[in-house]
Structure 1
């Protein structure tokens, strides 16, 4: 027998970095709001219906993005971290700086840095060759032709799980409701929407915001599928001891543009403590063996049984070339996924039917600016348009 449905003015599907931020902002001025999404499957992961790449302890935080839209999102997010940490009592931001390296010399991004830095009044430091980088940051090693750029605080890294915890704590403190479950059905019934979950809960709502990341096209959440490329990502976690963690405690995060034929587009974060009590340095990248997914079953199979071990040696070799003095005492690989949009900005807008909205497609950049992306999504749900500081069609969803 179906349970009596819980009714809300708005329900957010997906309690990741963007969804949790959107929930907090919607609760500020939108009546009864709920967010529904599963917790990390710590046990019996093979039975989980959905997974996420934000089940992690470190993500790069930079401010100067690949274009002014990303830069504004990054800057606004980072500026709000101190208040969010204070309101929630949860620390998630570590402003150790962020180093960008191009192995090809001064690339398109670096050529645009002075323009954006001037527009947004942001500090940076150029390193015109690898020797200057090594002199300033002797732990890092790069090829002779490399060109670098260092951003100081608030760049660095964030803990995405703690960021979500902070957002949800503030959201619940304002009276928002959190349901740790998986939505598997969204149907329109008259002027409302009926939602059903994996555990049998029933909800009704006036508005729906789908922020389910790589799973936004699945489980009948949207009336039309988004044009999203879902790509595998493999992360290496290099275990170090407490002494090595302390030695590298001031190491800035790294974004490294190179292409060896096997490895491309590296990101790296200094060692931090993980829930198992151990310390790991994280490195991720694109690999020539990466695969794309077209179905829910394919994504689930990747997270449950994907062959990360096939690339572990390649990743470790690459890591030790970047940090030749690293004293790793073990390593393991982890599975992630990246959602890429057609225009390489997040999709935020109408979801294909009246009062269904979407915020999905992070392009590998969204964790560092999820606070602002959530605000943009909340603004669109309330007003039917993005905030005035962004071009009107910046985040327009594209459907297949």
Structure 2
């Protein structure tokens, strides 16, 4: 609550009253409950990406859907960097900002600016459960907030939960993910590709998440369950890397599981740093400097 008051988040301590506000929830009796009723909620990642791309195009940016294989210093005087894609095309520019998530530690993007080194990132899997519910159940739970619960149940150490959301397929889903339990480390590009290709997460974890949520919302009627997986990249400091490696070459990496909610500010800081050479934040720049480790590529 000290941080809440300092930053003006307007969150409320409802430890003694949450049962009256959210009677459909079943939380531990000794739970401390904080509710951010103003300016809280969730981010729709599809709409967020669309908004970012639209804003970029309004500033004359060109969006290219290509996979980058490496970045090379240019041999021409007209530009500084050549960005080489897997299909063989070369994009030319004066500045490069690498914001490739966990893939930045698995591809030779830096060997011309940091020989035999890659960003020190630990890649962790996350399994996600999607609980398909009826429109009637979604209506019953319409006042349900986004939840972050740091309490264990079964084999799950805690969860984040989104309220009922209508997805593009026309169905209503409750989405939830876990904490550190069931995380797996991935260290190679092949392992990461296999993880994403299977598109199911860990089946045991999916089942445990369902059990956790049915304990959290007694009486919930679930029509079907599906799983998915994603990957988060973590730094040794738990701070992101927002840094310039050399003149005109910057990074914005290591979201530590919080990248989506912070992406606007991370992008703003990184862009100003690479384009203008300016640091505009109360966070000391030294805290966000990139840390390297020997490359195994």
Q: Same fold (TM over 0.5)?
A: yes
**TM-score normalised to the size of structure 2?**
0.90
| 1:309 paired residue among 176, 189, 203 | 203
Structure 1 Cα separation of the partners of residues 42 and 201 of structure 2: 28
What residue number does 2:43 align with?
158
Unaligned runs of 5+ in 1: 1-112
Structure 1 Cα separation of the partners of residues 5 and 146 of structure 2: 23
The within-5 A match list for 1:145-184 is 145-184=30-69
1:392 offset after TM fit, Å?
2.5
| 2:119 paired residue among 221, 226, 245 | 226
What residue number does 1:357 align with?
250
Q: Work out whether residues 153 and 212 of structure 2, in 8 Å CA contact, stay in contact via their aligned partners in 1.
A: no
User: Highest relative contact order (Cα 8 Å, sep 6+), 1 or 2?
Assistant: 1
Structure 2 Cα separation of the partners of residues 213 and 392 of structure 1: 20
Structure 1 Cα separation of the partners of residues 166 and 105 of structure 2: 34
Q: 1:282 to 1:207 in 2, by over 3 A?
A: same
Q: Work out whether residues 140 and 323 of structure 1, in 8 Å CA contact, stay in contact via their aligned partners in 2.
A: yes
What residue number does 1:133 align with?
18
Q: Deviations over 1:334-375 (max 9, x none)?
A: 111111111112111023x44221001111112112111111
> Which stretches of structure 1, 4 residues or more, deviate above 6 A after TM superposition?
none
1:316 offset after TM fit, Å?
0.7
Q: Is the partner of 1:298 in helix, strand or coil?
A: helix
What residue number does 1:124 align with?
11
1:267 offset after TM fit, Å?
0.3
**In the alignment, is residue 254 of structure 1 matched against residue 139 of structure 2?**
no
Unaligned runs of 5+ in 2: 112-116
Moved more, 243-252 or 379-388: 379-388
Q: Work out whether residues 262 and 287 of structure 1, in 8 Å CA contact, stay in contact via their aligned partners in 2.
A: no
1:307 offset after TM fit, Å?
5.2
Structure 1 Cα separation of the partners of residues 153 and 133 of structure 2: 26
What residue number does 1:83 align with?
none
Q: Work out whether residues 250 and 274 of structure 2, in 8 Å CA contact, stay in contact via their aligned partners in 1.
A: yes
What residue number does 1:240 align with?
133
The within-5 A match list for 1:1-400 is 113=1, 115-128=2-15, 132-190=17-75, 192-223=80-111, 224-260=117-153, 262-286=155-179, 288-305=181-198, 308-351=202-245, 353-400=246-293
Q: Deviations over 1:177-203 (max 9, x none)?
A: 100111112111247211111233211
Structure 2 Cα separation of the partners of residues 377 and 127 of structure 1: 37
- Please report the RMSD computed on the Cα atoms of aligned residues, expressed in angstroms: 1.8
Aligned length: 284
Structure 1 Cα separation of the partners of residues 138 and 47 of structure 2: 20
**TM-score normalised to the size of structure 1?**
0.67
Moved more, 145-154 or 230-239: 145-154
1:211 offset after TM fit, Å?
0.4
Structure 2 Cα separation of the partners of residues 153 and 182 of structure 1: 40
Structure 2 Cα separation of the partners of residues 349 and 288 of structure 1: 31
Q: Is the partner of 2:213 in helix, strand or coil?
A: helix
